Amino acid sequence: MTDAAGRLRADGNEIRATFSTIDEAAITRRPPGGWSVWEIAYHLMDMERWFLAKVCEAASGSRAEALTHFVLQWSRLREDVATRLQTIPADRMDVPGLLSGIPGWTPRALLAVMAAHDREHLAQIRAAARGEEGADVPSGLIVHITEADAWERARAAGTYRAESLDTEGFIHCSTPEQAAETADRYFAGRSGLLLLVVDPAQLQPALVYEPATGGAQYPHVYGPLNLDAVRAVLPFSPGPDGRFSLPPEIATLS
């Protein structure tokens, strides 16, 4: 493992050195068939957090020990966020278009989402500490309803984005059991749709189950969907009665 750690450090040093050579004009330049430097930087930051969590799990003797490492690393990130927050000029707090991926948001709106996110999970942690236990969070494959042209754009770009990622900060998904009801509610009468079947274990962005109208927990993907997480792309159109049914092929993917 010493060799592996050394290789990671060497690669990290090389990446940092290469980033230091990038000027402003090159940050958004996209090489043929690749990502821009800006997109790569976001991706590396997301993946390093994911890798860190997995390495902590592998190195720890128990989940309690891993949890201690998780909280330590999260605390360091939160302190960096708080420090950098103080450097945002007051006249930029309500300016839209400053945040990559969510251009409709302002820094103040982002902070409101962060605060609500904190309070929601704090309540859940406290409930768990009190010994409260409810229904398990759904596990297994999740699905996302989209249009054929949106999927073709994703294949060309290398990642899938939904409009909600820009407006709400996440991609709406469903469990397979929720898909037909979701389609009936939001895509009534529309044909030619596709159902992306996603394996959560392969996702690079965060997956969070959050309550929607009525209290049901729905999966939300907080970032562009990496295409290698898509297990299948299935045709999804309503039946003669105008209502949707789950494609039977999904049963073979579970």
Q: Is the model's pLDDT at 35 over the cut of 90?
A: no
Residue ending a domain, choose from 95, 129, 163 = 129
Task: For residue 141, list its beta bridge partners.
Answer: none
Is the pTM higher than 0.85? The answer reads no
Evaluate whether residue 17 is within a structural domain: yes
Q: Is the model's pLDDT at 19 over the cut of 60?
A: yes
Q: Is the model's pLDDT at 135 over the cut of 80?
A: no
Quick one: pLDDT at residue 213?
Answer: 62
Q: Where does the pLDDT of residue 139 fall: very low under 50, low under 70, confident under 90, or very high at 90 and above?
A: low
Same domain, 6 and 106: yes
Q: What is the pLDDT of residues 231-245, one digit of tens each?
A: 999 999 998 888 898
Three-state secondary structure along 33-49?
CCCCHHHHHHHHHHHHH
Same domain, 220 and 198: yes
Q: Where does the pLDDT of residue 134 fall: very low under 50, low under 70, confident under 90, or very high at 90 and above?
A: low
Same domain, 82 and 159: no
CATH of the domain at 244: 3.20.170.20
Domain that residue 245 falls in: 142-252
Query: Residue 140, SS3?
Result: coil
Evaluate whether residue 63 is within a structural domain: yes
HSE at residue 238, side-chain half, CA atoms within 13 A, is 15
Q: Is the model's pLDDT at 71 over the cut of 90?
A: yes
Evaluate whether residue 135 is within a structural domain: no
**What is the DSSP track for 166-205?**
HHTSSEE-B-HHHHHHHHHHHSTT--SEEEEEE-GGG-SS
Give the residue-averaged pLDDT of 106-123.
81
Rg (CA), the chain: 21
Structural domain count, the chain:
2
Answer with the residue of higher pLDDT: 82 or 251.
Answer: 82
Same domain, 125 and 152: no
Quick one: pLDDT at residue 154?
Answer: 93
What distance in Å separates the CA atoms of residue 53 and residue 49, rounded to the nearest whole number? 6
pLDDT above 70 covers a percentage of the chain that reads: 95
Same domain, 35 and 92: yes
Quick one: pLDDT at residue 254?
Answer: 65
Answer with the residue of higher pLDDT: 58 or 215.
Answer: 58
Give the residue-averaged pLDDT of 198-215.
82
Evaluate whether residue 137 is within a structural domain: no
